[in-house]
Amino acid sequence: MTELDQGLVKLKRFWLCLEPVDTLFFRDGRPFDPASRAISGLPNPQVLAGALRTEMLRCADIDFARLGDCIRNGHRFEAAARQVGGSLGEQIAKTNFRGPYLGRKNDIGKQDRLFYSAPATLRHSIKEGAEDKIVRLDPLCASQSLPGWQPNAQDMVPLWTRDKSILKPLDEIWITSEGLSAFLSGKTPKSDELVSSDDLYGFEDRTGIAIDPDIGTTQEGMIYATRRLVLRSGMRFWAQVEGPTEALDLLPRQDECRLLPFGGEGRQVAVTSCNRKDGPLTACAEPAQNPENGRCLVLITPALLNGWHPSGLDLLSAAVPGHVPVSGWDLARGGPKPTRFSVKAGSVYFLSPNSKRSQGSGLGDIHDTSLGWGEYCEGVWHHASNL
């Protein structure tokens, strides 16, 4: 474990490994009616933070009914946890979560390898008579222009490459921590550092029926189908938590394995913890050789923003592949959460060379980033005309 001092409160930071014991199910916010199909995707930060917070509150003997009443009366979680759980409830509310990340077990004695959504500026270069290769798009010099190109915001420049071959976007592709480290250092990842989603996870279709508990027979019309997440052999989830020591002591400690619900239908994962040096291998950029290089931010978890543009950043270019709707069930309020739209992981934001450093470890509202939304890795870039 890593312990830090912050005033009079000791902070702890460590990794959690979550290994599924069965298929998993993560629903979106769409209605689930008879004869409909509920399709699972990957877990988002909200699912992870909710599962770990619930376990901490349970271990602290927090009264869930009172906590729910406080939230329904208009209190934010932080205030409600303090009111119901006192000092320990307040410390639970101050815990920050990072993840979840996909990881694969490595050889004995070696760190797990993490996989991230591939940066949206990477392309397959297809040229007749030559092997496919990977190229990256970078901001064009402001002195150059493209006919017909219109910026999405003032003073932004297009993304470009000098490669003359046909380019195809990467579809459902992930990148290793080594590959993302190369990208963050201004280099182009190797082809073998990119992995198809099919190599990491898949989905399993199942059909079910609803039983009337009073008569023990099938309820009329209650046939439904689900598609559940299945991780490939050796795959598991990783997450990082940071917060007051007393609160984090409620989570599994080293050499302890605990089963926790994760996602829908009561599906569970086996959770263990380890310190930073025994955690997975993460992506990081090499030290910048030229202080005039621009900086780029690559989202490694989805971000909840007001649109596609993070506030407070001096953007030169951006690559945003799309948005994902986010909802869920609010246990405290007893109803669905409002649907919001998150910017996809893998989005890349290019900052001007002279821009101010970004603040914090996430993009978005501080309450969202504390749950793991909008986490990014920072790197450097070079003008496309200089590559």
CATH assignment of the domain containing 131: 2.60.40.4350
- Classify 130 as helix, strand or coil: coil
Task: Kindly state whether residues 154 and 140 are assigned to the same domain.
Answer: yes
Say if 62 falls within a structural domain: yes
Task: Kindly state whether residues 31 and 139 are assigned to the same domain.
Answer: no
Task: Kindly state whether residues 120 and 159 are assigned to the same domain.
Answer: yes
Query: In terms of C-beta density within 10 A (0-12 exposed, 13-18 middle, 19 or more buried), how is residue 54 classed?
Result: middle
Which sign, positive or negative, has the C-alpha torsion 66, 71, 75, 77?
A: positive
Q: Look up residue 279 and give its amino acid.
A: G
Angle between helices 45-59 and 77-93 (to 10 degrees): 80
Task: Kindly state whether residues 181 and 318 are assigned to the same domain.
Answer: yes
Say if 323 falls within a structural domain: yes
Which pLDDT tens digit goes with each residue over 4-49? 555 456 788 899 999 999 888 776 555 555 545 555 588 999 999 9
Task: Kindly state whether residues 302 and 271 are assigned to the same domain.
Answer: no
Concatenated DSSP letters for 142-199?
TT---TT---SSTT---EE-S--SEEEE--SEEEEHHHHHHHHTTPPPPGGGEEEGGG
- Identify the pLDDT of residue 261: 92
Say if 210 falls within a structural domain: no
Task: Kindly state whether residues 330 and 369 are assigned to the same domain.
Answer: yes
Which pLDDT tens digit goes with each residue over 325-374? 887 767 666 677 788 889 999 999 998 877 765 556 788 888 899 999 99
CA-nearest of 122, 159, 164, 163 to 138 is: 159
- Identify the pLDDT of residue 290: 60
Q: Look up residue 36 and give its amino acid.
A: S
> What Cα–Cα distance (Å) separates residue 85 from each residue in 56, 79, 116, 268, 371?
11, 10, 37, 26, 20
Q: Are 26 and 47 in contact (CB under 8 A)?
A: yes
Q: Look up residue 11 and give its amino acid.
A: L
CA-nearest of 39, 78, 71, 63 to 243 is: 78
- Identify the pLDDT of residue 33: 53
Q: Which of 278, 312, 344 is the last residue of a domain?
A: 278
Task: Kindly state whether residues 293 and 261 are assigned to the same domain.
Answer: no
Say if 172 falls within a structural domain: yes
- Identify the pLDDT of residue 387: 46
Say if 208 falls within a structural domain: no
- Identify the pLDDT of residue 32: 52
Say if 45 falls within a structural domain: yes
Q: Are 88 and 133 in contact (CB under 8 A)?
A: no
- Identify the pLDDT of residue 125: 84
Query: In terms of C-beta density within 10 A (0-12 exposed, 13-18 middle, 19 or more buried), how is residue 273 classed?
Result: buried
Pull the structure tokens for residue 361: 């470890």
Low-confidence ranges of the chain (pLDDT < 50): 7, 35, 387
User: DSSP class of residue 322?
Assistant: -
Q: What share of the chain is helix, strand, coil (3-state, %, to 5)?
A: 20, 35, 45
46/4 Cα distance (integer angstroms): 25
Say if 216 falls within a structural domain: no
Task: Kindly state whether residues 287 and 372 are assigned to the same domain.
Answer: yes
Domain that residue 331 falls in: 112-197+283-387
User: DSSP class of residue 362?
Assistant: B
In the chain, the number of structural domains is 2
Distance of CA 222 to the CA centre of its chain: 34
Task: Kindly state whether residues 272 and 346 are assigned to the same domain.
Answer: no
Say if 42 falls within a structural domain: yes
pTM of the predicted structure, to 2 decimals: 0.86
Task: Kindly state whether residues 44 and 127 are assigned to the same domain.
Answer: no
Q: Which of 261, 278, 295 is the last residue of a domain?
A: 278
Task: Kindly state whether residues 240 and 98 are assigned to the same domain.
Answer: yes
Task: Kindly state whether residues 378 and 314 are assigned to the same domain.
Answer: yes
- Identify the pLDDT of residue 208: 66
Give the contacts of 185 (CB within 8 A, at least 6 positions apart).
Answer: 285, 286, 379, 380
